[in-house]
A and B are shown apart, each in its own frame.
Chain A
Amino acid sequence: MNDLWTSPFFGIALSILTFWIGVKIQTRLKSVLLNPLLIAILLIVLLLSICKIPYESYNEGGSVINMFLAPATACLAVSIYTRIQILKDNWLPILVGCTVGSLSSMGSVWLLCHLFGLDEAMTASLLPKSVTTPIAVEVCQSHQGIVPVTVIAVIFTGILGSILAPYLIRLFRIQDPITAGLSIGACSHAIGTSKALELGETEGAMSGLAIGVCGLVTVIVSMLL
């Protein structure tokens, strides 16, 4: 019976089914809290625990899906390329904003981790939490962090950012769409970008750009650490 689960088709089909359920729930209830990714992960974790299916069996299919993360990151180049004019006109504010933003993210994480007395591995796992998952995971691994902690922190941060974005824009009285988009992308990467796209086209484009620039800044800074 157990070897039935080890077919890669099981993991892939289960992931697609649970993600589809997540999308359905979100469109039905229109709540940002009910993130499809979060729902899919919770459902799969629940099912695997209840049916006592080993993670390794699920991951036969999971690793196939995971393989697409690198091509997806590479394709961010396409979204940057299509907005190259905004990038050319505003390269200095974009560069300054993303650099200072990434530094403040890592700085505040480092400070809080020490304040709460977390160990080195936990700190290394949380440091890159504001950048997109594939970059965060690579940074975490190169500093002997715990990858799942990074993934949890990145996803949680993204969902939080997408929920808070409209309130934060009002709180800090941001009128310029470029500023709004960059701030959303800098603090909550791809999941925040999906919210920025709802706010406006320029917000979405800038948020997408911030994913790439902040990712690069974070990688460069983490190599120096």
Chain B
Amino acid sequence: MKIIKQFGIIFAICWFSVVIEHFLPFSFPSSVIGMIVLLFCLLTGVLKVDHIREKSDFLLSNMAFFFIPAGVNVINYLDILKAHWLTLILICSLTTLITFAVTAYSVRLTMRLLKRERSARHE
């Protein structure tokens, strides 16, 4: 019953998110709404991590598995892949490098600026 209850809580949050998505004036993924709703419930103490621990451990540690059917769907689009494989590889590789570097430098710069401001305040 414990696991069924945890499934119930998570699925209820997911369905609630679909309802919110339906009534929002703009399009926003219901899965992300679910993440925000769950975080809100945890922060306000409506839910405790213990209420959903086993179920969320199960989902997070097996996350990759749930992507299989989405990936297999590629079978319907093999011709697109054949036509664009080199461009896809090039674009993905270059942008991954750029994103990593830009994120690293902007985090580093913000941290340095904050530190300088804090030490300036202490003097």
Q: Do A and B come from one complex?
A: yes
A130:B65 contact, CB within 8 angstroms: no
B110 at the interface (CB under 8 A from A): yes
Per the bound structure, the CA–CA distance linking A216 and B60 in Å amounts to: 19
B56:A134 contact, CB within 8 angstroms: no
Per the bound structure, the CA–CA distance linking A69 and B32 in Å amounts to: 11
How many B residues are at the interface, by size bracket? 35 or more
With contacts A37-B64, A81-B42, A93-B114 taken as known, whether A59 is within 8 angstroms of B69 at the C-beta atoms is: yes
B38:A74 contact, CB within 8 angstroms: yes
Main secondary structure of the interface of A (DSSP, over half): helix
* B58-82, CB < 8 A from A: 59-60, 63-77, 80-81
| Chain B residues with a Cβ under 8 A of chain A | 10-11, 13-14, 17, 26-32, 34-39, 42-43, 49, 52-53, 55-56, 59-60, 63-77, 80-81, 84, 87-108, 110-111, 114
Closest A residue, CB atoms, query B15: A70
Chain A, 70-85, contact with B by CB distance < 8 Å: what is the 0/1 string? Answer: 1111111111111010
A41 at the interface (CB under 8 A from B): yes
A55:B75 contact, CB within 8 angstroms: yes
With contacts A148-B76, A176-B111 taken as known, whether A100 is within 8 angstroms of B102 at the C-beta atoms is: yes
Per the bound structure, the CA–CA distance linking A143 and B88 in Å amounts to: 19
Per the bound structure, the CA–CA distance linking A44 and B34 in Å amounts to: 30
A residues in contact with B99, CB < 8 Å = 101-102, 104-105, 108, 130, 186-187
| CB < 8 Å neighbour of B59 from A59, A75, A96, A155 | A75
With contacts A104-B99, A138-B29 taken as known, whether A15 is within 8 angstroms of B65 at the C-beta atoms is: yes
